[in-house]
């Protein structure tokens, strides 16, 4: 059964991640850039929440996979694109080095490449897949615990993630990277918990849609106040974003329920964005970097200054990324890069993915 609400939210998350990366360089320059960046802060944790929801929802009412069966089925769908994109980004950032050293310089890239593969640091967005790997390794254990003690699992994950995010927020030196799973576990588990209670929650969300909207706006105000008083803008790992992400999901879900049955072109576009969201996520930083470099190279970098430049950059990068993704969707090999091949019926992507 197609979950159109989840398709809708995943498509919004994909467009929001692009906005975060576009506006990141404008946070200190324009008020609009800072505000837009803060509003989009739900994007990465929302992808993780959707991952937990979809994985748990798929298995409800079906024979559950063993630990090894689950890993064999799921890991390859993320691992192969991760390796290929890491290699691509390593070659991209080392292009000047290779231009100067030729093929003889390639062996010198092996050691940093292995580090990038281990830490997810080949480019600034690939850490998300390191988070995904950790959550996949934990999922069968979390699933079994959720089946027995759902509220305990939700509460425990909340306390762990709250501690991890407070530690990061307060700059406590725990030696934890941003990609360490405690920073994100609660979002994943909340997605599972919502899938478990979806049937009973939906009528309540419909009846209280105005309240959900008001709480969502209030949580956004808290994020803005947090940034104003602490000057910690452009952070996804902070307690205020935890609250904002959960209420963003509930608010988007309320809105999505109104669009779930639409047959319009807009609805079909959202379905396509959702199905291809993983490839869009992996590709767009390359498009952004290449386009920005070309604009500066040919003396047009000033066109990207200010609010108008930021909006233009977002629209152009989004259109180019979606265009390249559409072309790739007609090639069978696109599945190895994280896309969905249009030659066969596209599923609403039980994948998680996408920071």
The model's pTM is 0.92
Residues 6+ apart with CB under 8 A from 304: 292, 295, 310, 312, 313
Enumerate long-range contacts of 329-338, CB under 8 Å, 24 or more apart: 329/276, 334/279, 336/80, 336/81, 336/84, 337/81, 337/84, 337/85, 337/279, 337/282, 337/283, 338/81, 338/85, 338/278, 338/279, 338/281, 338/282
Predicted confidence at residue 262, as pLDDT, reads 67
The answer to whether 333 and 346 are in contact (CB under 8 A) is no
List the chain pLDDT tens, one digit each, 355 residues. Answer: 568 899 999 999 999 999 999 999 999 889 999 999 999 999 999 999 999 999 999 988 788 889 999 999 999 899 999 999 999 999 999 988 877 777 777 888 889 999 999 999 999 999 999 999 999 999 999 999 999 999 999 999 999 999 999 999 998 988 889 999 999 999 999 999 999 999 999 999 999 999 999 999 999 999 999 999 998 888 889 999 999 999 999 999 999 988 766 677 788 888 899 999 999 999 999 999 999 989 988 898 899 999 999 999 999 999 999 999 999 999 999 999 999 998 755 454 444 444 4
Predicted confidence at residue 67, as pLDDT, reads 92
């Amino acid at each position: 059964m197609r979950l159109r609400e989840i398709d809708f939210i995943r498509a919004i998350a994909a467009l929001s991640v692009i906005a975060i990366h576009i506006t990141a360089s404008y946070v200190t320059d324009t008020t609009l850039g800072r505000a837009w960046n803060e509003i989009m802060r739900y994007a990465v944790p929302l992808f993780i929440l959707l991952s937990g929801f979809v994985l748990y929802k798929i298995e409800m009412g079906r024979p559950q996979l063993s630990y090894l069966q689950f890993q064999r089925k799921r890991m390859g769908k993320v691992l192969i694109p991760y390796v290929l994109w890491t290699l691509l980004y390593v070659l991209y950032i080392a292009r000047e080095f290779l231009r100067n050293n030729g093929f003889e310089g390639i062996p010198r890239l092996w050691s940093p490449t292995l580090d990038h593969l281990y830490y997810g640091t080949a480019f600034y967005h690939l850490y998300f897949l390191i988070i995904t790997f950790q959550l996949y390794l934990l999922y069968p254990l979390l699933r079994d615990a959720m089946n027995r003690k759902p509220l305990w699992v939700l509460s425990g994950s909340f306390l762990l993630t709250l501690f991890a995010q407070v530690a990061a927020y307060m700059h406590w030196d725990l030696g934890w990277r941003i990609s360490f799973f405690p920073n994100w576990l609660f979002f994943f588990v909340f997605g599972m918990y919502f899938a478990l209670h979806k049937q009973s929650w939906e009528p309540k969300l419909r009846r209280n849609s105005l309240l959900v909207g008001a709480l969502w706006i209030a949580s956004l105000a808290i994020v803005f106040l947090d940034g104003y008083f602490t000057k910690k803008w452009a952070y996804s790992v902070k307690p205020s974003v935890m609250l904002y992400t959960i209420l963003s999901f509930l608010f988007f879900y309320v809105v999505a329920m109104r669009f779930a049955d639409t047959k319009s072109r807009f609805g079909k576009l959202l379905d396509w964005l959702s199905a291809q969201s993983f490839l869009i996520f992996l590709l767009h930083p390359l498009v952004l970097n290449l386009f920005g470099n070309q604009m500066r190279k040919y003396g047009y970098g000033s066109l990207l200054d200010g609010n108008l430049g930021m909006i233009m950059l977002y629209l152009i990068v989004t259109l180019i990324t979606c265009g390249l993704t559409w072309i790739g969707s007609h090639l069978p090999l696109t599945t190895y890069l994280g896309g969905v091949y249009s030659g066969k019926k596209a599923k609403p992507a039980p994948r998680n993915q996408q920071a």
